[in-house]
Amino acid sequence: MADDFKDISHLYKVTPSAKTIIDGEDLVETKQKSKAYAWCDVLQSVTGLILGLFLFCHMGFTSSILLGKDTFWSLVSLTGGYFIDGVDHLWMHSVFVGTIFVLVVIHAILALRKFPNNYKAFRIMRGHYKLLRHTDTTMWWVQFITGVILTALVFPHMLPMLMDPGSIGPYGSGLEVYHSWLWVIFLFLIVTELHGMIGLYRLCMKWCGPSNATRSFLRKLTYVLIIGMIAMGSFTIMGFYNAGAEAAKLDPEAHYVPGWLQTPQTAPYPSWWPDHLKKN
């Protein structure tokens, strides 16, 4: 049998044995071997992990509007370096949003490698999903569909913040929600949380190789996180909608200013307010 494959043995890292030929093990063609695809896969996983964890930070940040406009304003000011010198540095917002934007672009480009490039490939992919009928395969299919939708929705969401960081705030962000189609915002929320939480679950499956018991627990945890994040996000959207409705009645161009910074001052300084920013 070795003589039969003598002419092709130079294509392989080692001369294939009979078992290798029959079982198809370790057939690695040196001329086609490349680490680029593997590194792209690692980079896609890393960017996906960062963005998935960022969703929790983002939810905590935006849901602060439910604690009041002052709370959300304080967090926005923190990211803008206001507590350093009493000035909201818009470039700091742009750097932060720009970093997330770059991660999204990189992740999206890398994910496109695995998208079907024609209808035939799409039908094969769908047939694979229908044939297996496995929970993890269904989650993989949901992540693919939500990824396609996110490609169309995420950039219109991020570009206004990147180009006009001064609009980020209780009134500015509220007006954006108030004047938008709520069904689009809720759709964006749902597909984002589905894609992100399922993505984190699949990363655990891919890189950690958990046992069946752990897999079952993580799957249930994923369901709980999806429901919890969508519920919290829904309350947050309505919080911004109410803030936007208030701003629309007052002045659509107004920026929210907490009472302790108004002139005249209408509220006392909070206990945590830095002394060097208090007016004499």
Q: Is 278 among the domain residues? A: no
The residue to which tokens 């969401």 are assigned: 157
Same domain, 145 and 50: yes
Same domain, 147 and 22: no
Give 70-125 pLDDT, tens digit per residue. Answer: 999 999 999 998 988 888 899 999 999 999 999 999 999 999 888 887 888 888 88
Q: Which pLDDT does position 227 carry in this prediction? A: 98
Same domain, 109 and 182: yes
Same domain, 19 and 81: no
Q: Torsions phi, psi of 12, nearest 5?
A: -105, 155
3-state DSSP of the chain: CCHHHHHHHHHECCCCCHHHHHHCCCCCECCCCCCHHHHHHHHHHHHHHHHHHHHHHHHHHHHHHHHCHHHHHHHHHHHCCHHHHCCCCHHHHHHHHHHHHHHHHHHHHHHHCCCCCCHHHHHHHHHHHHHHCCHHHHHHHHHHHHHHHHHHHHHHHHHHHHHCHHHCCHHHHHHHHHCCCHHHHHHHHHHHHHHHHHHHHHHHHHHCCCCHHHHHHHHHHHHHHHHHHHHHHHHHHHHHHHHHHHHHHHCCCCCCCCHHHCCCCCCCCCCCCCHHHCCC
Q: Is 16 among the domain residues? A: yes
Number of domains forming the structure of the chain: 2
Q: Give me 81's structure tokens.
A: 């370096």
Instruction: Sort residue 34 into left (φ over 0), alpha (ψ -120 to 50) or beta.
Output: beta
Q: Is 275 among the domain residues? A: no
The burial class, CB within 10 Å (0-12 / 13-18 / 19+), for 237 is buried
Same domain, 18 and 43: no
User: What CATH number is attached to the domain comprising 123?
Assistant: 1.20.1300.10
Q: Which pLDDT does position 5 carry in this prediction? A: 47
Q: Is 187 among the domain residues? A: yes
Q: Which pLDDT does position 199 carry in this prediction? A: 95
The residue to which tokens 């992919």 are assigned: 125
Give 9-18 pLDDT, tens digit per residue. Answer: 555 555 666 6
Q: Give me 157's structure tokens.
A: 């969401």
The residue to which tokens 């709520």 are assigned: 182
Same domain, 168 and 50: yes
Q: Torsions phi, psi of 179, nearest 5?
A: -95, 5
**Measured between alpha carbons, how far is 125 from 127 in angstroms, rounded to an integer?**
5
Same domain, 21 and 50: no
The residue to which tokens 């992990």 are assigned: 49
Same domain, 24 and 96: no
Give 173-231 pLDDT, tens digit per residue. Answer: 999 999 999 999 999 999 999 999 999 999 999 888 778 788 889 999 999 999 999 99
- Average pLDDT value over all residues in the chain: 86
Kindly indicate the confidence band of residue 24, based on its pLDDT and cuts at 50, 70 and 90.
low
Domain assignment of residue 14, given as a range: 1-33
Same domain, 199 and 117: yes
Q: What's the chain's Rg over C-alpha atoms?
A: 25
